Amino acid sequence: MDKSISFTQLEEFEKDFHRDPAKRVAQLAVTSNGVNQSAADPFTLRRDRFQFSVELKTGHITNQKASGRCWLFAAMNTMRMEVMKKLNLEDFELSQNYLLFYDKLEKSNYFLESILETLDEPTNGRLIAHLLTAPLNDGGQWDMLCNIVDKYGVVPKDAMPETACSSSTGEITSYMTRRLREFACTLREGYAQGRDIGQLRKMKEGMLCSIYNMLCIALGNPPKTFTFEIRDKDNKFIRDTGLTGRSFYEKYVGWELSDYVSLINATTKDKPFHRTFTVKLLGNVKEGRPVKYLNLPVEELKQAAVRQLEGGSPVWFGCDVGKSSTRKTGIMDLEALRPDQLFGVEFGMDKAQRLDYCDSLMTHAMVFQGVNLDENGAPDRWKVENSWGDELGEKGYFVMSDDWFTEYTYQVVIHKKYLTDSQRAELEQAPIELEPWDPMGSLA
């Protein structure tokens, strides 16, 4: 059989296309409107209503704009609720730019240290290629967020407001990435020329100073101390002076971050349920808290999330937001888009197969702020707080069907008090190490 496409085959393909008039109708729709608009099913709105039996009160919808900071926005959207409760505030927002600054700085150091730890690896090998691919990704993991907050705390948004570069990170990230790759080259060539690790670490110090200067120019200098001023719901004026990021966090958020843990649903054969996992060379703060997951059946993730919502606390979660979802209407439903019907094909892989064959992974972090429980107490849809502004979805909120949760939600962050005794015991296991390129090492 010929390996190339023959003209005879092309003729048969053409005949097959014209044999079915529905293909011509689909062609007219798609060429005029695009795939997703043509494949959107408006009737899902009847099922995925923006009504929830369990619903938390939140602040205004935030907007990460042209940046990949969803994991930071989602985390700040959970933490700000503590500030609002403690101070009787109608609304409040924490500075995502402050955390972005220190995350970029710490990731730069983590990358350079990873280069120093792999000096004997071949430059054209898979490991070095992986490290060089995206050393300064905007995204992150929950444990990486904990490392930044534990070290630097948080500050109100007006203590370190947004800049052009924090709202649109592409330019500064590209230049810093270029610089870091050059630093990696310098360190590896220095090693090849006989420099010892002490000399190379001394060189790294100057490299980090260069990165720090670039961050200050792009994002502004992070505050060492600041004054917090705000009015509460009763018009009472509040002032607190001489605060640092750490003291503000301890006083007004006060979470013990070690109590919050990541539950994942990874269904591939190499990841048994009820075991813990970590990912090699994934992190930001060197010698900080390592990434750690407990892998569980998806129903256990749902049960834990419901318990936390019923307890009055939101749930940070990670998912593959681009699958079967409509950005404008904010519907996340397996039938929200029907490309299978539009093209007359079947997309038949299950969750494990999609992970194994690079068709899905965690791409975005958001917050569960509510859930609808049916007459039997089972969830059928979830209220999702996004960070894409208030013009999408229902004034910025999305709704997720429970079936969509099953297929495309990969991670939830839960306080240990909402876990079962057996789950808390399972968390104590030494984690199995995953390779750096494993899909569960993806960054939201």
Q: Give the active site residues.
A: 70, 364, 386
Q: Which residues pair with 263 in a beta bridge?
A: 294, 412
Q: Which residues pair with 382 in a beta bridge?
A: 371, 400
Three-state DSSP class for 256? Answer: coil
DSSP string over 373-425: E-TTS-EEEEEEE-SB-TTSTBTTEEEEEHHHHHHHEEEEEEEGGGS-HHHHH
> What single DSSP character describes residue 308?
H
DSSP3 helix / strand / coil % (the chain, rounded to 5)? 45, 20, 35
Where helices occur in 351-443 by DSSP H, the ranges are 351-356, 402-408, 421-426
CA–CA dist 329, 155 (Å, integer): 33
Q: Give the tokens for residue 79.
A: 């933490």
CA–CA dist 349, 359 (Å, integer): 9
Q: Which residues pair with 275 in a beta bridge?
A: 295
Specify burial of residue 309 (Cβ count, 10 A radius: 0-12, 13-18, 19+).
Answer: buried
Taking the CB of residue 257, how many other CB atoms lie within 10 A of it?
Answer: 17
CA–CA dist 271, 209 (Å, integer): 40
CA–CA dist 239, 87 (Å, integer): 11
Q: How far is CA 34 from CA 23, 274, 304, 307, in A?
A: 15, 43, 39, 41
CA–CA dist 388, 87 (Å, integer): 26
